[in-house]
Structure formats: structure tokens, C-alpha cells
Amino acid sequence: MNILHVIPYMHPNAGGPPVVADRFCQELKSCGHRVSVITTDALSPADDTDWTKPFEQRYDFTAFPSLRKNAFGYSRQLKPLLKNRIREFDLVHIHNLWSYMNIATSKVCRKFNVPYVVSTHGMLDPNSLSRKSLKKKWYGRLIEFPQLRRANGMIYTHEEELALANSSCSHLPPCYVIPLGADEPVKEGITEAKADIMKMFPTLAGKKLILFFGRIHPKKGLDLLIPAMAMLSKKMPDAHLVLAGPIDNSYREKIDRLIKEHQLESQITFTGAVYDARKWALLSLSDTFVLPSYQENFAITVAEALRVGLPVVLSEHVNIWQDIVSAQAGLNCQLDPADIASKLEQVLSDEDLHRKLSENGPPLVERQFTWKVAGVKLLESYQQVLASK
């Protein structure tokens, strides 16, 4: 097959959707299929001019300049290119909602009778819809939802995401559930990466490290996690929170104020975005992983933590929480600072519990959360879409 993936942004700082699109493309290519990606430079920092190079080395990759570089991803060059190229492809896979690329691509696909599927990446979750709710309500009713209903298929990462999407938007097309995966841990350079991290952040030495890893965004629950750390630190003074990931300057100011309010300046460390060996080194240095999100359709970072045997504490609004708790690889928490603090204390203070959770994580990932399994299921969904066309 010749498959096109369209997504408004692919910069690594933009969170999970670019990772999903990239790993899907790599899996499809490894199975002998031709893949292309069309995107924009939306959400990419102005000083990062080389971010496209790794993608260009993997598959056919085109990134257009976008107006204002925001998530809407408007580019006047997109539609002419699609009109010229769309008939090359057997199927188009659109990622994300609320973007110009979604509108333009779906219209061109219908014009030239090319089937398309849509990955919503949790954007039909009621919590996601509640942010900028008035704008989404009218944009969804007038533009987005009619486009979705005319797609040839919907791609979800979990049954819970499917159920939430159907509660938000009726009469959606056939759906396919494809759990995501965790990358293979990097082994080369890990020792050096660990040493670099400890040299850069010497305050981490001798502490029980609680890791939050990923794009730092208001939906991730840091407004709950920081008060939870204030409670935990009274019982466990050696507990230390590591916040690893990109963060918007205005949100960083809010978080800094919250940290100061709870007098946690010496017990919380920001590392900024980390990739490759440093990411896996930081995971291996940590004692537990935490994600108290208000909404998370899958959370690749959780699967990566489990893969290296790191116990996780996650809210019941991370859609895969029941899979993890059932496998005894992590603990669920409420959206409540006291409960988050309590669960973190359990994991960090109970050696037997920590050992059990740690041992159960890697087998769970191997059974359910690998990119190879995701690639097989993705191809099956494509084949079903094409067969029903």
C-alpha cells in the first residue's frame, strides 16, 4: 500500500501525536509499505531549524511553513500539494482535530475518492472538549464533526477513548482500537547519560526520585501533584520530584509560583526536554513514575516507564489505568492531592510492593503495548477500510 499520514505538527516538543505518527510510519515501512508524511512547522521553536532531518531520513517527509506556528497548522501551500498528489495514495491517515490540515485533507480526499481514517488522539474526550468549550462547540458542530462523520474509519487507542468519543459525537464511522507501544530502551551511552544527568542536577543524588516525564501541560495535573509533594515531603523528606519535558513559558511561571507557595524549591527539579539516551537514563535513575492527568487517551510515557520496570502512579483519567492496575504494575489515584501523596508514599516506602510492581511492568508491555503489535493491527484496520470502500 501507499499510505499518507497528515498531521498539523511533528516537532518532538508537541507531545504524543507526532510520536504516534512517526512510529506508525516506521512500522508500516518495515512491513514493505510506502509511507509519506505531510505536516507543518507549527509548534516548532524558531531557533530549531534542523528538526525535520531525522524524519526525512526515515521516509518521504514534507513540512510546510505555517501561519503563526500555532496548533491550527494553517499553510496556504497544503491544499495545492494535496490536489496534485492525493491520487498517488491508497489511503490517508489524518491525525488530530481542530486543525486546518484536517479540513483541507478530508475535503480533497472526498473530491478524489481516496479513503481516509482519523486518529483523534483523545480530542473527543469530554475533558478535552471542555477546554475552549464554546469555540469547540460551534466549530465542531459546523465544521469538524461533519468531516468526521464522512470519514471511512476512526482510529482509537483504547476502548475507553472510543466510548468517550461516541458520547461526545454521534453517528461516527466504523472504529478500530489500536493500543500504542513503547520504544525499545536505548542501551548505548546510558552510563554516560546517567553521569551527565547527575552532574547537571547534583541535588538528585541520594533522593527517592519521582519522575514526571512528557509535555508539561495544564491537563497533566501538576496543580494537584505539587500540593501532593508538599504533603509527601512531610513524611518523606528525601522524596524529590523531577519534571522532565518541554513547557510553555507562561505555564512555567504559574508552576513556579505554585512551587514557591508550597516551599518546594529544593525538592523539585526541571530538566527540560530529554531525548534518546538521556530519557532512558532518567527513567532508570528514578524510583517511580507519576501521571495524575485530568485526561489522557493512552500515555506513551507510561508504557515506556513500565518497559524499564518503573512502578507507576496514575489517575483514573489515563485510559489505560485499569490495564496497569489489573496487571499489578502500578497504582491508580484520584484527582486529589492527598490520594496522590498516599499512593506515592506506598510505592516508595513498601519495598515488597515496589518490587512486585516493578517486575510486572515489562511483561505487560510485551503482551499489550509494543509498536509491532500496533503496526499489525493498524494494517488490519487499513485493509478493512479498503475492503469496504
CATH no. for 2-181+370-387: 3.40.50.2000
DSSP 170-189: SS---EEE-----PPPP-TT
Average pLDDT, the chain: 95
* pLDDT above 90 (res 100): yes
Q: Where are the domains positioned within the chain?
A: 2-181+370-387, 190-368
Give φ, ψ of 46 to 5 degrees.
-60, -30
* Structure confidence by residue, pLDDT tens digits, 115-155: 999 999 999 998 889 888 888 999 999 999 999 999 999 99
Percent of the chain with pLDDT over 70: 100
Sign of CA dihedral 333, 339, 340, 346: negative
Reading the block at residue 372, the C-alpha cell is: 509491532
Percent of the chain with pLDDT over 90: 90
Whether domain 190-368 has CATH 3.90.1150.10: no
Task: Tell me whether the CATH fold assigned to 2-181+370-387 matches the one assigned to 190-368.
Answer: yes
* Structure confidence by residue, pLDDT tens digits, 23-40: 999 999 999 999 999 999
- Could you list the beta-strand ranges (E) of the chain: 2-6, 34-40, 60-64, 91-95, 116-119, 153-156, 175-177, 208-213, 239-244, 268-272, 288-291, 312-315, 330-333
* Structure confidence by residue, pLDDT tens digits, 48-80: 889 999 999 999 999 999 988 888 889 999 999
* Structure confidence by residue, pLDDT tens digits, 211-235: 999 989 999 999 999 999 999 999 9
* Structure confidence by residue, pLDDT tens digits, 301-330: 999 999 999 999 999 999 999 999 999 999
